[in-house]
Amino acid sequence: MESERAYELAYKYEAKYGGCAQTTLAAIFEVLNVDAKDVFKSVTGLAGGIGVIGDGTCGAVVAGVIALSYFFGREYENFSDPERKRFETYKLAREFYQRFKKIFGSTRCHDIQRRLMGREFDLLDPKDWEDFLKAGGHDDKCPSVTGTAAKIAVEMILERLK
């Protein structure tokens, strides 16, 4: 099933490469055969609650919403949006957010870190980075988050494309 494959790829990519937004988006796009390397590059700074600050929305959540928008959002060529695509996409984004939050209790990076690892981390601080790795941040904690986000996004995209 595509959604399970997305979970596995996002999990693997996060464990190997890090960068939750990119690892989530890469898995979604790979499973759905999307070649959008420019979009992949553009999400680099969204990891770890934006710039690994931790206080913002989890990059995996942002990537899931970006993928939904990529498939169903308003096009530049149709900026006036008479079909109101953006409002349909807002509904999809809201559903994605709610499904993710139901599993992890929050969409905020530090809240998720606290829930999964018992504390929050400043990922640009060398000591915190070391502690994050020791706590399993890239072994199974964040990989499970990216995998879940990729799975939800792929399920939603495929359901809507039916």
Along the chain (162 residues), what's the average pLDDT of each consecutive run of 10 residues?
98 98 99 97 96 96 99 95 94 99 98 98 97 97 99 98 91
How many domains is the chain partitioned into structurally? 1
Both tokens of 161, joined, read 């494309």
pLDDT of the residue at 148? 99
Instruction: Give the residue from 63, 71, 72, 65 showing the smallest Cα distance to 43.
Output: 63
**Length in residues, the chain:** 162
pLDDT of the residue at 154? 99
Contact 59, 20 (CB under 8 A): yes
Distance CA 105, CA 107 (A): 7
pLDDT of the residue at 137? 97
Distance CA 55, CA 46 (A): 12
CB atoms within 10 A of CB 117: 17
pLDDT of the residue at 2? 96
pLDDT of the residue at 126? 97
pLDDT of the residue at 136? 97
Domain housing 121:
2-161
pLDDT of the residue at 43? 97
pLDDT of the residue at 92? 98
pLDDT of the residue at 50? 95
